Amino acid sequence: MKLNPSRPERVFSRLLSHSIRCIAALALIAIQALPAISAAAETAPLPAPSPTGQRLFDSARDKLVQVRILTRAGSSQSTVGSGFLIAPDGTALTNYHVISLLVLEPQRYRAEYVRVDGRRGEVSLLGFDVIHDLAVVKLDQISDAPHFRLRPENAPLQQGEKIFSLGNPLDLGFAISEGTYNGLVERRLYDTIHFTGALNPGMSGGPALDESGRVIGVNVAGTGGELANLLVPLRYVSALIAAPRVKSLDKAVIAAQLTQHQDEMVKALLAKPFPTQALGPTTVAVGNDKLLRCWGQSNAKPDKPYRTESISCNLQSSLYIDQSFTTGWVSWNHTYRNADKLGALRFSGWHARSLAAASVLGAGNQKPTRYLSRPHCHEDFVTRPANAVAGATTLRVNLCVRAHREFVGLFDMTLNAATVDRSTEGVTSNMDVRGVSFENGNRLVRAFMEGTSWTK
Amino acid sequence: MDEVITDSALAAVPVVDDTVFVEVLDKHATLIERHRFAQLPLSLGTSYRSDHIIEAETDSAAQVTVLRGDDGALWVTAPESAPEFWAPGGKTRRWRVDASRSLIVAGQRIRIRTRDYAPVASGSRAARPNSLRGLGVRAWLWAVPLALATYALETWLSDTDGERTSMYVTGSITVIVILALWSGAWALVSRLTGRASHFLSHVAAAALAIAAVFVLDYFLDTLAFSFNLPIIQRYDWSLVSIAVAMLVWCHSFLIARTQARTAALAAVLIGGALFAFQGLTFYNQRGDLASTLTLSVLRPPALRVASGTDVEGFFKEAGALKDRAEKSRPEKPDGLDFGGLGED
């Protein structure tokens, strides 16, 4: 119900005018009203269920499945998600992140499906798309089954159109969630649908339907915001279904897809010269604002002998490999520091410590894992000569590189740089690039580094 | 018992044939006291009948006699009832005095010398005066303030949020407590190995070490920055181990007067243990970017001597990182599994 804004004011003035007289009466009314309220709560009719939602859920019952990843040793449940049939022979769709353990550790995990009526069977993998978080699976013991139809790509949805998301949230049971289509998410490397409606863990891999029950996307992720969630658009689903099947679905397939992703990511980021932005008396690289989201912060307190300004930017998406490892993204930050009152000796120490702390706490600082080697670093003073736009700038630069263990040819890079040519002011910059080829990483890091220079 | 004399007094002693010096030693043959006796025979022991009462830990009343034999040499004779007697050569009860060797009488190590062997010309370690011990008594008066001052300087350099007196006070108290505990432990060692604790000497040595480490660390960091030598910062953590090893040697050899071998062993053991601990910690943190960063120390531009490369040059040199990272790919990611290196 939409609230009338004038109503609270009227109630308040009436209460004031009758306040004295009402004190005793209110108490009496409250006592008398209590049983009435609870009785009303018991008898009040629940909001009528959406007829469309009811109809869609009824028709989707036989086409929905819960996908469970189980340990081979004890059949303990390790991951649960949702899926849906797209062909009568048992071909179904889900998310890659639901079945990732089947790809990464097939010797330790297996998958099974559970239908709404409780029937269950084995799941085998037909294909996956790490970039868009999709997977095609085959459900055994299913033939001639009802399945979902896909909405044609030439029938685009309108913003505000009602859409429905189905799945098995939190392993509680199958459910339908009603919401609206709100176009594509801004600042994404790949198209992603902005779904305003409830999406909970466990619904990943479930279908998102239009009012006529056709699939318009696949549930993929929450954003952390209330009711702002993400769906994979249908065109990626169609591409995956149409893609030729490969015999061996292993880490080599993931590596090939990651390589393709990093090419597209770097190409998009370097499509134009790196945009720069003023930060104190410097300019710093901030990147393509159609892909990255940046946040700024200023800290100048009268009781502190310094002031700082900072900018942080990051790519709004990353690729899920497993619970402990995401890749295929970049982030960076710059901090300008000015501390005339500290003096040159204390400023230089503080300047360096702040950068080191940022490196330790930063996203680029990880222990060696099964996915990453330890870092190898190169450090030097780097001087950029003055030009028509910028003054000469000398930086202390440290570049660290880790190789991906499982995905040959991909690297993580971390750049830390600090200006060292002014006594009581300077800029520190930190850049983390994940899952790129060495050459692409160098191109990105170099473009980033060349964005920093003094202007005054 | 005759009077106790000092080295300087010895030079003035006239030459007398039967003059005998009995030197009381600690268990490492360090000279503790020297007594002069003008007549022979001489009896040494723990009872009142002795010419020299030895303050032994054991209560043996037996005496030994020092007398000149027919051969003109000095001889020490011990009765069978003297259980705490030992002379070089083993189970002997009569021993020809060798001025260069010590014997045990009533449980106390002593050495017997005549005027001919007067220690004026002696160059042995035990006979040398302990100059550091004497210095230490005075040195702590300036060494401790120096340590506190360097600590305060270090704190001030890293205190960017405005001076907070409490930080300096609590830090100084911590330094003093650590100094006291460390020196106290070494004083105990001195007391066990010798006859005095030399607490103030130990305090002075430890305080000087603290000041030296602070100064040297700052100097090395500055050197690394000025001349672009990241290798210094990469390995300067070992400075603490080396400093501690040297300090232990100083406490042990120079102040507690232990044997050279014992002092060296203590230095190697304690310094080595610290080195190993630090090394293993760094090895365990090898994946930590902070352990590879040398940017953790910068200095004012005026102190920079090394010239920088250009962007092109930097990335040319950084090209080697690709091979290095790929070669480290097969390493085991966790733990100290050295055996696993090289396997995938």
pTM of the model: 0.73
The pLDDT value recorded for residue A367 is 64
Inspect the interface and report whether the beta carbons of A378 and B290 lie closer than 8 Å. no
The pLDDT value recorded for residue B295 is 65
Inspect the interface and report whether the beta carbons of B324 and A376 lie closer than 8 Å. yes
Which residue from A164, A208, A169, A165 is spatially nearest to A81, judged by alpha carbons? A169
The pLDDT value recorded for residue A183 is 92
pLDDT digits (tens, 9 = 90+) for A357-408: 666 555 555 666 778 888 888 889 999 888 776 678 899 998 989 999 889 9
Give the range among A8-22, A58-72, A297-311, B110-124 with minimum mean pLDDT: A8-22
* Interstrand relation of B52-53 and B42-45 (parallel, antiparallel or unpaired): parallel
Task: State the sign of the Cα–Cα–Cα–Cα dihedral A23, A26, A27, A28.
Answer: positive
Residue B181 has pLDDT above 90, yes or no: yes
> What is the C-alpha to C-alpha distance for residues A11 and A17, in angstroms, rounded to an integer?
10
- CA distance, residue A329 to nearest chain B CA (Å): 19
> What is the C-alpha to C-alpha distance for residues B253 and B132, in angstroms, rounded to an integer?
10
Choose from A324, A340, A342, A381 for mutation: most chain B CBs within 10 A: A381
Confidence label for A290 from pLDDT (cuts 50, 70 and 90): confident
> What is the C-alpha to C-alpha distance for residues A231 and A222, in angstroms, rounded to an integer?
9
The pLDDT value recorded for residue A13 is 39
Q: For chains A and B, what is the number of CB pairs under 8 angstroms?
A: 181
Inspect the interface and report whether the beta carbons of A376 and B300 lie closer than 8 Å. no
Confidence label for A186 from pLDDT (cuts 50, 70 and 90): confident
Mean pLDDT over residues B328-344, rounded?
52
The pLDDT value recorded for residue A48 is 57
Mean pLDDT over residues A271-285, rounded?
88
Residue A149 has pLDDT above 80, yes or no: yes
Inspect the interface and report whether the beta carbons of A355 and B295 lie closer than 8 Å. yes
The residue that leads in pLDDT, B10 or B219, is B219
Tokens of A37: 């309220």
Q: Which residue in the set B287, B293, B307 is minimally distant from A398, CB to CB?
A: B293
pLDDT digits (tens, 9 = 90+) for A320-334: 998 888 899 999 999
- CA distance, residue A384 to nearest chain B CA (Å): 6
Tokens of B35: 């007594």
Inspect the interface and report whether the beta carbons of A396 and B298 lie closer than 8 Å. yes
Percent of chain A with pLDDT over 90: 53
Confidence label for A24 from pLDDT (cuts 50, 70 and 90): very low
Give the range among A19-28, A101-110, A167-176, B21-30 with minimum mean pLDDT: A19-28
Contacts with B334 from chain A: Cβ below 8 Å:
367-368
Tokens of A350: 């503080």
Show Cβ contacts of residue B12 under 8 Å, excluding neighbours closer than 6 positions.
Answer: none
Choose from B321, B324, B328, B343 for mutation: most chain A CBs within 10 A: B321
SS3 of residue B110 by DSSP: strand
Q: Which residue in the set B156, B297, B321 is minimally distant from A399, CB to CB?
A: B321
Mean pLDDT over residues B10-18, rounded?
52
The pLDDT value recorded for residue A31 is 36
pLDDT digits (tens, 9 = 90+) for A124-140: 999 999 999 999 999 99
The pLDDT value recorded for residue A1 is 33
Mean pLDDT over residues A23-37, rounded?
38
Residue B7 has pLDDT above 70, yes or no: no
Residue B166 has pLDDT above 50, yes or no: yes
Tokens of A274: 């790196």
> B11 CB near a chain A CB, below 8 Å?
no
SS3 of residue A41 by DSSP: helix
* C-beta neighbour count of B299 within 10 angstroms: 21
The pLDDT value recorded for residue B286 is 67
Confidence label for A301 from pLDDT (cuts 50, 70 and 90): confident
Q: Which residue of A has its CA nearest to B233?
A: A379
Confidence label for B256 from pLDDT (cuts 50, 70 and 90): confident
Residue A33 has pLDDT above 60, yes or no: no
pLDDT digits (tens, 9 = 90+) for A405-422: 889 999 999 998 999 999
Which residue from A442, A446, A399 is spatially nearest to B292, judged by alpha carbons? A399
- How confident is the prediction for chain B on average, in pLDDT? 78
Residue A287 has pLDDT above 70, yes or no: yes
pLDDT digits (tens, 9 = 90+) for A225-267: 778 899 999 889 888 988 888 778 888 999 999 999 999 999 9
The pLDDT value recorded for residue A439 is 96
> What is the C-alpha to C-alpha distance for residues A376 and B321, in angstroms, rounded to an integer?
6
- How confident is the prediction for chain A on average, in pLDDT? 84
The pLDDT value recorded for residue A436 is 96
Mean pLDDT over residues B125-151, rounded?
72
The pLDDT value recorded for residue A368 is 64
Q: Which residue in the set A306, A365, A379 is minimally distant from B160, CB to CB?
A: A306
Choose from B214, B227, B286, B293 for mutation: most chain A CBs within 10 A: B293
Residue A37 has pLDDT above 60, yes or no: no
Which residue from B284, B323, B321 is spatially nearest to A413, judged by alpha carbons? B321
- Report which residue type is found at B235: Y
Q: Which residue has the tokens 């097969």?
A: B330
Which residues between 343 and 382 in chain A have a beta carbon less than 8 angstroms from any beta carbon of chain B?
344-353, 355-356, 359-360, 362, 364-370, 372-382
Please provide the DSSP assignment of B136-201 as one string.
HHHHHHHHHHHHHHHHHHHHHHH--S---HHHHHHHHHHHHHHHHHHHHHHHHHHHHHSS---HHH
Q: Which whole-number Å values give the CA distances from B93 to A441, B82, B263, in the listed order?
A: 87, 9, 35
Q: Which residue has the tokens 């490369």?
A: B309
